[in-house]
A and B are shown apart, each in its own frame.
Chain A
């Protein structure tokens, strides 16, 4: 091949490229107990999580992967299309001492189980039937995030007890705010501890000690807006839930501590697009700020640079020269070669743009090891595909 003179973006300097992420070292390290994949929606988080889990299993780890919302065919391939809320062994994992179990999160069921596990059967029934609980457990914007963390806590406790797993890989929900899941434990405990809830429970506890002018103004306002039944449902719910508050908060905080612990590794997943990388940046900064152990960045769907030395401008110039002279086989007008040159230029421009975006990220966060995974021409929906992504993840120079 001829000498390289592919032009790169204006900000490009070789120094600002991040260190490659050593995926196999991370997976092989027996101290790695939890891997959390986070990032905005549509960047391939689920595929990355499943590929890492499969690769770890085939390298001898006993792995369980918790997915949130896998594509139907991928879920089928992993044998988890039914929502069971417990891990099932994945068929077709290549031999050795390792194993792979997978599960898909059932948010409502997880919530129900927590309630059932913490309250007396009678009280649990009362809570589960409360309309406010039904709404909270199935549609509250933060419930999915919180329940993912709750399930992680459960899996971790089970793993420690039974020794069934030595690595848990977690996919995170595609939050509207990519940071929701980190906030979930704190938000839940601040909700449960909040003044408002205290106030709601106060009347139920007996004499209205707290019936200040401000409070009655507030309840009046709420009744006016929501209607009296809503407030009543909420009060009943909160009163019933009251005894569980302590337990809930303790669990939320435990999970948070677990995330900060040494055996946890966060991987931020992104695509080489401005929005996705901006989200990734938020994540990196937030994780660092919260003392969460960040292992690296995975950039999926990267375009691969074409071979050869012809740059985009040269290709376009040549294309317009051919176009102008009308050269070539009249059968093939407007010309095969023109089309090839245009495609070539288009591809180079995309590669350059992605390189600029990645370098910009690396310049701002030079300490974040990065793995770049080239775009695949098809979606991944079987173990062979996951294995291939795993290889690409591990093959960073």
Chain B
């Protein structure tokens, strides 16, 4: 799950994980560069570098729900684990740390960081498939949702091969990158993009799809987030935009409902309606652009009070209804 900053990609990733965790399926939700966003969203203690069960899935119509596990991946831990796993570098790993190599590799060496982060996701996917392999806690996952870096960086992040090209042309780290790429380019992966119906995010989404495609990475769908309520429709929306709403009907209905009505209240409501209608028109124009992208689209409402756990389940239900999970 990727998306421009401010579009709510982490929220959508969490909602998708909950939605997928229906009908007894187990889902792993990973974050790779967050500030413990998952922990904050699900209101649990900060996550360690270890898979943790954090929530029960959305109960499906047919039977019991699965669980959502979470994993916070940081490059340092991934590197040390990688060294221990593949090279049995217990002592040498420490020596590397002492000479500042771990720090170097994870913060400065170009591309290495991303190889490590994606490599860990790959490991999780692998342990989910094969029974009895090394995954901690032995959890088996039916799906992995990755809260990935933003749209502007997603292709570079997933395309670890290219990032290493010219640097490591051979050797184990290159081989590791190749293996990871094979999974990312396979039909088992889908890169979803989160956007809001505003010009820049929509433009960036369209650019992002182009970049993913030219890197042979499988594009999933576009999730349109924070969509305004649509209580006003059709002719009424047009009338609101032209400031031609029927003030008498409004006044009458308000009075019948026991509201103290004066001109300023009706002025206020019609002004809000006009403002809303203008934004809806802009949203519609952007929606057309999204639909022209020729990928499946899903829409999630803006929740006025902010997204809490209840809100996450609501969003998950909306994604499931629309067939995303």
Contact = CB atoms under 8 A, between A and B. Distances in A.
Contact of A218 (B4, B33, B101): B101
B43 interface: no
A66 B35 CA distance: 28
Interface stretch (A12-20, A103-111, A291-299, A328-336): A328-336
A377 B6 contact: no
Contacts of A141: 107, 113
A379 B200 contact: yes
Given A142-B107, A308-B265, A195 B99 contact: yes
Contacts of B92: 217-218, 220-221
Contact of B7 (A42, A196, A218, A377): A42
B268 A131 contact: no
B258 A318 contact: yes
Nearest to A347: B272
A337 interface: yes
B173 A226 contact: yes
A274 B282 CA distance: 25
B232 A343 contact: yes
A336 B173 contact: no
A275 B169 contact: no
A334 to B, nearest CB: 8
Which 10 A-B residue pairings sit nearest by Cβ, starting from the closest? A227-B171, A41-B5, A42-B6, A42-B5, A339-B231, A349-B304, A308-B268, A337-B253, A135-B110, A307-B268
Interface of B: 4-7, 10, 33, 35, 37, 83, 87, 89, 91-93, 95-96, 98-101, 103-104, 107-108, 110-111, 113, 149-150, 152-153, 156, 163, 166-174, 198-201, 203, 229, 231-232, 236, 245-246, 249-250, 252-254, 256-259, 262, 264-265, 267-273, 275-276, 278-279, 282, 302, 304-306
A321 B255 CA distance: 11
A346 B273 CA distance: 12
Interface residues of A, number: 84
B33 A176 contact: yes
Interface string A32-43: 000000001111
Given A135-B166, A214-B95, A347-B272, A40 B278 contact: no
Given A336-B245, A337-B249, 16 more contacts: A41-B5, A42-B7, A142-B107, A174-B152, A191-B108, A225-B172, A230-B168, A230-B171, A275-B10, A306-B268, A307-B264, A321-B258, A325-B257, A328-B249, A339-B232, A377-B279
B87 A225 contact: yes
A310 B265 contact: yes
Contacts of B170: 227, 229
Contacts of B95: 214, 217-218, 221
Contact of B173 (A187, A225, A337): A225
Given A1-B264, A353-B304, A377-B279, A307 B253 contact: no
Contact of B150 (A41, A131, A134, A332): A41
Contacts of A318: 254, 257-259
A250 interface: no
Contacts of B99: 195-196, 199, 214-215, 218
B193 to A, nearest CB: 14
Given A214-B95, A227-B172, A344 B269 contact: yes
Interface string A337-362: 11111111111011001000000000
A382 to B, nearest CB: 13
